[in-house]
Structure 1
Amino acid sequence: MNTTDFRFYTGALSTDFVATVGRRLAGGDERLTSAARLTEWLARAELVGPQKRVSDGDLQQARELREVIYRLVLARITQRPVTAADIRVINDWARRRTPAPQLSADEPFTLQTRDGDDVGTALGVVARDAIELVTSTRATSLRACEATDCGMPYLDLSQGHTRRWCSMKECGNRAKVAAHRARRKKDTAC
């Protein structure tokens, strides 16, 4: 998987948004590198149409919201307090009007947003998802990836709640390969 690909496997819209930065614990790989990339993420998350125009100001605000959500989720995972400033920011975003879903008449049926929906409205949906996530019973399933360079938050929905990595294909595979190499190195040293 390419490091610039978007991740939509963390279990919640808000944590998928946080995943627009990869390998956080190793300096971070920014995936929202332009207004066009933000448009792409919002469209793939089905919050706006692919032709929505996003400004550089929207991009900056989206990145700031993303970091607040990251700190909020991390605080919930670690049982640490959240700053008053972060609470204010997330609540301000969550107050934005809710987009009304519209059903397309085309077959197969598709969900559409109204033409007037804007980036702020879409980001408000993400903020509300974050608040609902950290205040719901689902929050007990929040985890942070154990890969030393990752730390991406995700919902552990595995049967035994024993998931350790955000993705077995990425971080889990790298960890298993590293463990295998360490075992082989130890065996050859004996």
Structure 2
Amino acid sequence: MLGRVVSISSDVPATGVPFVEGVDQTIIKRPWPGARARRVSPAQVVTAIAGLGVTCQAGDVKHVFLCGNPALDLACTLRARRTAPFETLDAPDRLGAWYVESGLVDALAPCEESDLALAVEVREAIYELVTARLAGDGYDAEALSLVNETARRPPAAPQLTAEGRWVEATPAQALSTVARHAVELLSGPEVPLMKECANPECTKIFIDRSRGGRREWCGMESCGNKVKAAAYRARKKEAQTAG
């Protein structure tokens, strides 16, 4: 599976796995290859959502994790940058939801407006660095400084509990963790695997770990099927005109 869409609501924990009465433990799947798979109790999951203020007041919050790295996933929270920019992190609680849904943390202190403003700045800096690397250009000095400064701050630290591994963090610690992923990605062996989605309207950048490097889309449902359907309609219209 290339990615997943998860949501937070009153009966769905941050993992996207529905709460089932009588089930003692819930398995949280990996949102990207290499991420840890966690086994925690439903009570812990409910506490992470209901008790720490990450449920969106406007209803269910949906975030897409298709990029293969949390730094890239954060960068794509501003969608369709070139055509019709759509901001998914438009409130502090949506940022908190993203951190928990991403699997980086299990529980998060409430996000403030200042946390959101900084996260958006770091997100844009990450996007600037990633696109520069894709284009073979040099790094913007301000973007580089901001990402490095954020990565130097204390990250989210795992703790051992009776149920297993548990990560409780502040928004600043969660953001530092994302920045560290950006540093590792851009200085690591997967740089040649980074691609922008082939949908001209999409600006998501993902890591192509497919066999032979043939992946074209951030996701088939979100972009691949849409582009293929549009191409089919265009060919059909052209054939009808020619006939």
State yes or no: 1:167 paired with 2:219.
yes
Residue of structure 1 equivalent to 2:167: 113
1:61 aligns to what SS in structure 2?
helix
Choose between structure 1 and 2 for higher RCO, CA contacts under 8 A separated by at least 6 residues: 1
Select the residue among 135, 146, 150 that pairs with 1:78: 135
Question: Going by fraction, where is strand more abundant, 1 or 2?
Answer: 2
Identity across matched positions, percent: 33
TM-score (norm 2): 0.71
Residue of structure 2 equivalent to 1:124: 176
Q: For the residues of structure 2 that align with 1:104 and 1:20, how far apart are their CA atoms?
A: 32
State yes or no: 1:31 paired with 2:88.
yes
Letter in 2 for 1:160: G
1:25 aligns to what SS in structure 2?
coil
Residue of structure 1 equivalent to 2:103: 46
Select the residue among 128, 135, 146 that pairs with 2:187: 135
Q: Deviations over 1:49-82 (max 9, x none)?
A: 4552100110011011001001111111111111
Q: For the residues of structure 2 that align with 1:20 and 1:138, how far apart are their CA atoms?
A: 21
State yes or no: 1:188 paired with 2:208.
no
Residue of structure 2 equivalent to 1:92: 149
Q: For the residues of structure 2 that align with 1:42 and 1:88, how far apart are their CA atoms?
A: 23
Gap regions ≥5 residues in structure 1: none
Residue of structure 1 equivalent to 2:45: none
Gap regions ≥5 residues in structure 2: 8-60
Structure 1 segments of 4 or more deviating over 4 A? none
Retained in 2: the 8 A contact 1:39–1:50?
Answer: no
State yes or no: 1:101 paired with 2:153.
no
Retained in 1: the 8 A contact 2:125–2:143?
Answer: yes
Q: For the residues of structure 1 that align with 2:156 and 2:234, how far apart are their CA atoms?
A: 51
Structure 1 residues 72 and 144, CA gap change in structure 2 (3 angstroms) = same
TM-score (norm 1): 0.90
